[in-house]
Amino acid sequence: MSALAFPGLETPADQQTELEPLFRVLVHNDDVTPMDFVTRVLVSVFLLGYPEAAEIMLYAHRHGMSVVQILPKAEAEKRINKAHFAAGLEGYPLHFSMEPE
């Protein structure tokens, strides 16, 4: 027995949790939502620093979409919903989506 083994504390195989699958969160460019608003949403909802948020926003502006983050599915859905809610309050069509990693 190794020094790090603790008899009786093993987790049965049927109780081990699997990691939730990861998803890429994407931001899509549109012709209506102001760039500064997109950057603010990336900072406030996705908790990015301003320079990274601005870079992601500009990439989406130039290329049509950009990867924002890679997150577990539930967290990705939660943040996308928050971002859509914030955009809706301001009347902007800002759109986020997600795809499996």
Report the CATH number at residue 89.
Answer: 3.30.1390.10
State the pLDDT at residue 1: 47
Residue 80 lies in a domain: yes
- pLDDT for res 18: 66
As for how many domains the chain has, the answer is 1
Calculate mean pLDDT across residues 23-48.
98
Q: What are phi and psi of 63, to 5 degrees?
A: -115, 0
Q: What percent of the chain has pLDDT over 70?
A: 82
Give the pLDDT confidence score for residue 6 in this predicted structure.
52
Smallest Cα–Cα separation from 56: which of 39, 78, 31, 80?
39
Question: Domain range holding 73?
Answer: 21-100
Q: Which pLDDT tens digit goes with each residue over 43-62?
A: 999 999 999 999 999 999 99
Q: Which residue has the higher pLDDT, 6 or 32?
A: 32
